[in-house]
Structure 1
Amino acid sequence: METVVWIIHVLAALSVVGLVLMQHGKGADMGAAFGSGASGSLFGSSGSANFLSRATGILATVFFITSLTLAYFSGTKTKSAGLMESQKQVLPATQPAAPVNPLGVPASKAKDVPN
């Protein structure tokens, strides 16, 4: 189920980017009035703006819903024990090692070494 939501999420994201890039800005209206070719488009002079705006809004809503769904899946995912967690072994208690001086000789024998 999570994989399906991921696929829809990525497709919606790419579609929103494409639709936003296809839309004309508000400053392009004046250029369209003087015959820049917008009136001869597939949807008519104002039909493309309405269609692209609605499609962008719908896909943005789908993107928002899939984002919330993926966040929900992420928060409710059960945490399984990793390989290191399942292989823990209790080690027997050991005596601490004798401290070593800078010469590498254990402290118990360091008395015999002159400074």
Structure 2
Amino acid sequence: MSTVILLIHVMIAIALVGVILLQRSEGGALGIGGGGGGGGGFMTGRSAGDALTRTTTILAACFFLTSLTLSILASHNTASTPSIVPTSGGEGGLTPLTIPGQTEPTAPAAPAAPSGPQVPQSN
């Protein structure tokens, strides 16, 4: 179910980017839709702008709804832990070291400290 909604969400996002890029730019940015008057084309500048604005609004609302739906589905699919960091037992999420046959976890042995200065022997 969430895979289908995620796929719809991605398609809406791509369509939203495309519609935003088609809109007429007032500041000379990325608007490639032109929308200028002049030619007796299919849509006039004002009706094309209104249709693109309406389409952007609808796509933005659908994007918002699919985002909410995906977050609700993700929160229901997780266990009772609201954390994003998985915990597996010990402190800090680390599992203590256990040796087979022992009931309690053990700490790793510390390396032996050298006793005094090490002087190489000459032959």
TM-score tier by shorter-chain length is 0.5 to 0.7
Counterpart-to-counterpart distance in 1, 2:35 and 2:108:
86
Offset of 1:96 from its aligned partner?
Answer: 8.0
Superposition TM-score, scaled by structure 2 size: 0.57
Aligned residues: 91
Looking at both structures, which has the greater relative contact order when contacts are Cα pairs under 8 Å and sequence separation is at least 6?
1
Aligned position for 2:36? 38
Superposition TM-score, scaled by structure 1 size: 0.61
Fraction of identical pairs, as percent: 32
RMSD over equivalenced CA pairs, Å: 3.6
In structure 2, relative to structure 1, the CA distance for the partners of 1:11 and 1:47 (3 Å cut) is same
Q: Which has the higher helix share?
A: 1
Counterpart-to-counterpart distance in 1, 2:60 and 2:27:
23
In structure 2, relative to structure 1, the CA distance for the partners of 1:48 and 1:77 (3 Å cut) is same
Q: Give 4+ residue runs of structure 1 displaced > 6 Å after superposition.
A: 94-100
Q: Is the 8 A contact 1:9 1:66 kept in 2?
A: yes
- Does 1:102 pair with 2:96? no
Q: Is the 8 A contact 2:16 2:59 kept in 1?
A: yes
1:1-115 matches, cutoff 5 A:
1-26=1-26, 38-39=36-37, 40=39, 41-79=41-79, 91-93=102-104, 101-103=112-114
Gapped regions of structure 2 (runs ≥ 5): 29-33, 80-85, 90-97, 116-123
